[in-house]
Amino acid sequence: MRRILIILLCLLILSSCFDYRGLEDQAIMMGIAVDLEDEVYTLTFEIADIAGAENGQFGAMILSARGETIAQALQDAKQKLHKEMYLGTLRVVLFSREAVESMEFAPFVTHLLHDLQIRNSLPLAVAGEETAGELLTSHEREEQRVIVSNVLGEQLGKQSSTAPAPTIHEIDQVLHTDGGEITLPLVVTSEEEGIFFAFAGSAQLREGRLEKER
C-alpha cells in the first residue's frame, strides 16, 4: 500500500496538471464519500497526511463538509482546508443510496470526469451501510497508519479483474443515455479481522436512479 501511494505522489509531482507548488499547499485527496440526509449533502474526504508521515508511511486525515447542493459542500470543504484540492490521487468515490437517487448524482459524475485531474479509471461504488461516510471513518487509525480509500481501491481493482467494473467515463455516458443501465459494486464493512471491506452484490442504476440490488 505504501508503494502505491509513493507512486501516486510521484505521478502528482511529474504530472503536467500539477502546478509545482509545494505539497504542503495541496490537499492530496484519496477518497470521497457522498451522503444525502434531510436535503443536505455531506461530503467526507480522506486526505493523505503528508506532514505526519512516519518511517516513510503516510496516514490520513478526515474532513467533512456540508451544503444544500454538492457544489456548496465542495465550497465548504475548500473554505475549511485553506488549500487547493488535488484530486488526481483519488482512489474511490462512494455514494449512499440516497445520494445515488438524488438529482445531483449524474451532474457530479460529469463534474468529476471533466476535472482534468481525475483519472478515467476512477472507481465508483455504492455504500451498503447507512451512510457512505462511515466506510471511510469506521476503522481505528491510532494503532496502524492506513489510508482506507487506498485499501478499498485495491479491493475494487481485484474484484474488477473477474467482473470488470465500468469506468467513470462509461458511467457518465450511460447516465446521459435514455434507458441506460449500469451496475456498480455494493460495498459494506467487513467483520473479518484484517479485512476492511466486503462486497455485498451490486447496485443496479437506470437513468441515474437506483432500481434494484442483487
pLDDT tens per residue across span 66-89: 999 999 999 999 999 988 888 888
Q: What does the alpha-carbon distance between residue 11 and residue 202 come to, in Å, rounded to a whole number?
A: 32
Residue 119 pLDDT = 83
Region for residue 162 given its phi and psi (left: phi exceeds 0; alpha: psi -120 to 50; beta: otherwise)? alpha
Domain boundaries, the chain: 25-213
| End-to-end Cα spacing for the chain | 31
Q: How confident is the model at residue 165 (pLDDT cuts 50, 70, 90)?
A: low
Axis-axis angle for helices 2-14, 148-162 (nearest 10): 100
Q: How confident is the model at residue 173 (pLDDT cuts 50, 70, 90)?
A: confident
Residue 207 pLDDT = 67
Q: Tens of pLDDT along 89-110?
A: 899 999 999 999 898 998 999 8
User: Of 182, 127, 118, 181, which is closest to residue 152 (Cα–Cα)?
Assistant: 127
Nearest 5 degrees, angle CA 33-CA 135-CA 45?
A: 35
User: Of 132, 202, 116, which is closest to residue 166 (Cα–Cα)?
Assistant: 202
State the amino acid at position 177 in one-letter form.
T
Q: Tens of pLDDT along 31-71?
A: 999 999 999 999 999 998 876 656 656 778 899 999 999 99
Residue that the C-alpha cell 509545494 belongs to? 22
**Considering the chain, what percentage of its residues have pLDDT values greater than 70?**
73
Residue 143 pLDDT = 47
Taking residues 124-144, report their average pLDDT.
78
Residue that the C-alpha cell 460529469 belongs to? 110
Count helices and strands in the chain by DSSP H and E runs: 7, 9
State the amino acid at position 92 in one-letter form.
V
Neighbours of 14 (CB within 10 A): 8
Higher pLDDT, residue 203 or 166: 203
Count CA atoms closer than 13 A to 116's CA, side-chain side: 6
**pLDDT at position 149 over 60:** yes
